[in-house]
A = this chain, B = another copy of it.
Amino acid sequence: MSKNADTPPDEFALIAQIFAPLAAGDPGSFGLTDDAAIISSRPGQDLVVTADMMTAGVHFFADDAPDLIARKLLRVNLSDLAAKGAKPHGYILTVALPVDTGMPWLRAFAEGLARDQAEFGINLLGGDTTAAQGPLCLSLTATGWVGQGGMLRRSGAQAGDDIYVSGTIGDAGLGLRVRRDGPLAGLSAQQNEFLLGRYLLPQPRNQLGVALAGAAHACLDVSDGLAADLGHITGTSRVGAEIQLLDIPLSRAAKTALDLKLADITELIGAGDDYELLFTAPPAQAQALRRIAAAANVAICRIGRIIAGAGVVFVDQANAPVTLKKSGYRHF
């Protein structure tokens, strides 16, 4: 126990006080008392493994609320599991903490994790806690289960497939502008709050993703922007895509921003951090997909179709191709 309750204790006390309670739900974590965790094999199932690293000043602001930083870190990985059709299992967390990190920050960080662990059915399995000589650096490796050979791939799209996206697109990009520059003039306080929330706390679509595992041909989650991520599907699937720009689902707040010319559609489909599912499925699945989406309580929207060839074409109401300024947002 640290002498000063507001300064971090040493690594061993930090694990026992802050992180071990998060690992109590899975015996494979051994309560974080050993060098490693175990994940027992499940015959007929594959373990899906994904990881994201987030650093202060690049992926979040150092003064963002610690519980929201924690939840976003967990959720961007949960979103990858959703996109692969995997049911969340457990995660490994490594953190490099600036030397001035205090116990209140760490407690709030752990509370954020605890809240989302309960919501999404995932447990801490293990990890590492260390000091940083620079800004906060976080890495999370998430695992989930799918039936053997059943992981949803980027590469499964086929000519003739419909293209769908869940939720609404472009909100998080506008939310980042709100976080950085303050409220967008002309939008209501509620709309600004909504956009900011979409940036700070993405909503991974895990229930939808698991249900899509048997129904969709290809799937990923929109993290680099709709346009760039669609390019990842067409590129790995060796097909093309035609997207009806007007069919891309937008929130009221985003529509207002468009109407007021605070942003254009190119920005919205180029902005990252949506964490919605982008997937393709044959037209025969249309009704099944509606049922799946209704059961998951998530709106899905058909925005176009996979075609033979290569590349992504955006078309207007008259089916005329529209030229876009840029094709995607890149973190790096």
Q: Residues of A within 8 Å of B, CB-based: how many?
A: 68
A47 contact set on B, CB distance < 8 A: 38-41, 47
Residue of B35, B80, B146 touching A80 (CB-CB under 8 A):
B35
A127 interfacial by beta-carbon distance below 8 Å: yes
Question: CB distance B92 to A153 under 8 Å?
Answer: no
A133 contact set on B, CB distance < 8 A: 55-58, 134-135
A108 interfacial by beta-carbon distance below 8 Å: no
Residue of B49, B54, B129 touching A38 (CB-CB under 8 A):
B49
A49 contact set on B, CB distance < 8 A: 36-39, 92, 125-126, 143
A125 contact set on B, CB distance < 8 A: 49
Question: CB distance B137 to A96 under 8 Å?
Answer: yes
A11 interfacial by beta-carbon distance below 8 Å: yes
- In whole angstroms, how far apart are the Cα atoms of A330 and B129 in the complex? 12
Question: CB distance B50 to A154 under 8 Å?
Answer: no
A153 contact set on B, CB distance < 8 A: 30, 34
Residues of A within 8 A of B (CB): 10-12, 14, 30, 33-59, 80-81, 83-84, 86, 92, 94-96, 125-135, 137, 139, 141, 143, 146, 148, 151, 153-155, 220-221, 236, 330-332
Residue of B37, B44, B53 touching A96 (CB-CB under 8 A):
B53
Question: CB distance A41 to B46 under 8 Å?
Answer: yes
- In whole angstroms, how far apart are the Cα atoms of A156 and B137 in the complex? 34
A83 contact set on B, CB distance < 8 A: 35-36
- In whole angstroms, how far apart are the Cα atoms of A51 and B93 in the complex? 8
